[in-house]
């Protein structure tokens, strides 16, 4: 796929471009600040934008603002935002504006190249990818305030977390070393407990789970 990268750290920008090229993607533009990112995206019309949240000049949330701007002008382009640390607030904000074709990951996740590339593919396909750390945060907060989650078993909570990260049944099965059938069984039990509408569509399932966790 055709990708534009927004990252102000030159070494990381080059490393990321190298990894993506190596994985067979086409890095059509790189930007060191938010304005440049928006310009590159307008010019190259990529399939996906990967950007850091913190960018010059103020080093606050320019990358996020740029991503949301790109989303509004070119909703077709998939967006993955990276950050040195995760906050639930950013996830909620992103998902509220853009429920699909969106990813929010810790920068450190780039290093696990196969997983990172798979995440980009899923976002490109209209999926939602959330960093395990932010999902854990959401889940802990939801469990704190909601008794329904306490009725789930430890394994079911694991499944729920992976669902919230945006993973498919096959991926969850692989992660937990159980059969896909077992994952389906856990999932339907989770739906029942939480009162979620059953869905075969992975993307819709993620959105329902995240909506539930963000209540």
Partner 1 sequence: MGIARLTARSSLGAALVLVGVAVLALGVVELALVLETPVGPPAALALFVVVAWVYAGAGLLAWWRRPRNRFGAVLLLGAFAWLAADLANVPNRVLIAVGTVLATAPLAVVIHLLLAFPSGRLLTPASRVVVAAAYVVALVLQAPLYLFTGAPAPFDLLVVADRPDLAATGARVQQAAGGVVLLATAGILVARLRRATPAQRRVLAPLAAYGTLAVPSLSVIANWIAPAYGLRPETVALVQLTVLAGIPVAFTLGVLRGGFTRTKEIEELAEWLGASGGARLSLSDALARTLGDDSLQLVFRAHDRYVAADGVPVELPEPGSGRRAVEIELAGRRVGAIVYDATLIADAELVRTAGRVVAIAVDRERLTAELRASQDALRLSRARIVEAGDRERRRIARDLHDGLQVRLVLLAMDAQQVAEGPGAPAGTREAAVALRVGIDAAAAELRRLVHAVMPAALIERGLAAATEDLVDRMPVPTRLDLGAIDDRLAPAVESTAYFVVAEGLTNALKHARARHLLVRLASTDGRLVVEVHDDGVGGASASGSGLHGVADRVDTLGGRLQVRSAVGGGTVLVAELPCAS
Lookup: tokens for 6: 């927004």
Sign of torsion over alpha carbons 2, 40, 111, 103:
negative
Instruction: For residue 96, state whether it binds partner 1 (rule: CB under 8 A).
Output: no
- Which of 36-44, 66-74, 100-108, 199-207 is the region at the interface with partner 1 (rule: CB under 8 A)? 100-108
From CA 55, how far away is CA 45, in angstroms rounded? 21
179 binds partner 1 (CB under 8 A): no
User: Toward partner 1, which CB reaches closer, 69 or 199?
Assistant: 69
Distance in Å, CB of 98 to partner 1, minimum: 19
Q: Is 87 in the site for partner 1 (CB under 8 A)?
A: yes
Residue 15: alpha-carbon gap to chain centroid: 20
| Residue 108 touches partner 1, criterion: CB under 8 A | yes
Pick 92 or 176: Cβ nearer partner 1: 92
Q: How far is the CB of 108 from partner 1 (least distance, A)?
A: 5
CA R_g for the chain: 17
Nearest CA among 153, 144, 131, 156 for reference residue 210: 131
Binding status of residue 148 toward partner 1 by CB under 8 A: no
* Nearest-angstrom CA–CA distance, 49 and 102: 10
145 binds partner 1 (CB under 8 A): yes
């Amino acid at each position: 796929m055709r990708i534009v990268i927004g990252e102000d750290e030159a070494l990381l920008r080059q490393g990321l471009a190298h990894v993506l090229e190596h994985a067979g993607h086409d890095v059509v533009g790189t930007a060191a600040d938010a304005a440049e990112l928006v310009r590159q995206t307008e010019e190259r019309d990529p399939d996906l934008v990967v950007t850091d949240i913190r960018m010059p000049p103020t080093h606050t949330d320019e990358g996020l603002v740029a991503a949301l701007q790109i989303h509004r002008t070119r909703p077709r382009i998939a967006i993955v935002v990276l950050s040195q640390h995760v906050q639930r607030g950013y996830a909620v904000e992103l998902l509220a504006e853009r429920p699909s074709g969106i990813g929010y990951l810790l920068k450190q996740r780039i290093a696990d190249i196969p997983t990172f590339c798979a995440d980009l593919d899923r976002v490109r396909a209209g999926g939602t990818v959330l960093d395990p750390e932010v999902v854990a945060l959401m889940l802990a907060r939801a469990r704190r305030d909601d008794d329904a989650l306490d009725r789930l078993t430890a394994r079911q909570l694991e499944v729920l977390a992976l669902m919230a990260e945006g993973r498919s049944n096959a991926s969850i099965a692989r992660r937990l070393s159980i059969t896909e059938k077992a994952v389906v069984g856990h999932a339907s039990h989770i739906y029942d407990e939480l009162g979620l509408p059953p869905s075969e569509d992975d993307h819709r399932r993620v959105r329902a789970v995240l909506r539930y966790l963000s209540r």
